[in-house]
Amino acid sequence: MLPKHEGSRALKQFSIATSTLVNPEMNRWREQGGRFMGYFCSAMPVEMITAAGLFPFRVRATGSTGTELSDSYFSSINCSFPRHAFNMALNGDFDFLDGLVVFNSCDHVRRAYDHWVHQLKTPFVQILSLPKKTEAPQIEWFTDELRIFKERMQDFYRVEITDEKLQEAITQHNRSRRLLRDLYATRKADNPPITGAEMLAVTVAGSAMPQDVYARLLDELVDETKGMEGHAGYRARLMLTGGLLDNPEYLETIEGQGGLIVADALCYGSRTLWKDVDENAADPLVALAQYYIADRPSCPRMYTEYPKRTNYIREMVREFRVDGVIFQRLSFCETWGLEQYSMTNDFKEWNIPLLCLEREYVPGGTGQLKTRIQAFLEALGR
């Protein structure tokens, strides 16, 4: 088991924010009269929520213990994430949300939206159409979607979302992205100062903290890493890719077998921070549409972008000196299922070791996972 940095105040704060659904920073926001806008997908331009004066909160099902209520609304072959999230919603765990934004990102999450609007009383609920391609017509389409969303927020919350406010929010979120990239860069070292589990806790926390607080803690952590003792003695340098993953404990299990996760291509990880939104664009909404549709690393929702996605992963394998890649996806996720098939064939051709894992949102026994990780590490010959 890799040692944790018990003395890092910033890492402790990030861990608290990730391990609980409602953390102390969120409670402080509410006590000060702040409002929350939930969202389901990393394709959400969170800068718009920030510019409206709301707290952008990415919906997780952290702490879920079952799906007894939501099983009445979902099939047994639906992805377990929306089932757990909607179960918590039915239990009232998301009653603190003043609004919710959902994308038609996949059929499973779309079903969560359908049930949410009929069964729950969230004051403001909006679904946005997410394109499947990344060309000019799709960017124009998404820009129109964002304008509609902006107008609805302004009318409902009685706020004015000016271009200046949007530009300020873009600058604020870009600052966090740059600090996160600084942290990722430290993992290129022979003895990286932070583990993959710690890094995931940091990135997940960014979806559950006010941006000013988050950036201050990131700045603090970047400074702390300069004096941290690096991790040595690991058996292999690993990269993690695949679908939604917001649980650092899953990574702790992997790293507990001797592998060190030094890179990722996750929607709670590098795909949200690898590039910045254009801060100098004449129209900030166009800049946001361009970024979230075309500029940032995509997921299989953008089905024409597979070559770019694999090139992104291969470049990261080279840059972070990765020995093997672990692909994980939630059971019954057809979007990532096709990606798994393609990657399995291509990575074999490229001679990049690849381990494919299927999992449930709430992990069960870890015995099988440990066995497969151990076998993978042995196959790597380290």
With respect to residue 357, please indicate whether it lies within any of the assigned structural domains: no
With respect to residue 129, please indicate whether it lies within any of the assigned structural domains: yes
- Indicate the angle between helix axes 9-19 and 196-205, nearest 10 degrees: 70
Closest CA to 163 of 16, 327, 283: 283
C-beta separation of 29 from 282 below 8 A = no
173-207 per-position pLDDT tens digit: 999 999 999 999 999 999 999 999 999 999 999 99
With respect to residue 103, please indicate whether it lies within any of the assigned structural domains: yes
> Where in the sequence is the domain holding 113, given as residue range(s)?
23-161
With respect to residue 86, please indicate whether it lies within any of the assigned structural domains: yes
Pairing between β-strand 354-359 and β-strand 99-103 as defined by DSSP bridges:
unpaired
| Whole-structure pTM value | 0.95
* 155 token code pair: 């009318």
Domain tally for the chain? 1
With respect to residue 368, please indicate whether it lies within any of the assigned structural domains: no
With respect to residue 180, please indicate whether it lies within any of the assigned structural domains: no
Going from the first residue of the chain to its last (382 residues), give the mean pLDDT of each consecutive group of 10, the final group possibly shorter: 70 95 96 96 96 98 95 91 96 97 90 93 94 95 97 97 98 98 97 97 97 96 90 95 96 96 97 96 97 95 93 97 97 90 93 96 88 95 70
Q: What is the CATH number of the domain that holds 116?
A: 3.40.50.11890
The Cα 37–Cα 53 span in angstroms is 10
* 58 token code pair: 């990415």
What is the chain's length? 382
With respect to residue 131, please indicate whether it lies within any of the assigned structural domains: yes
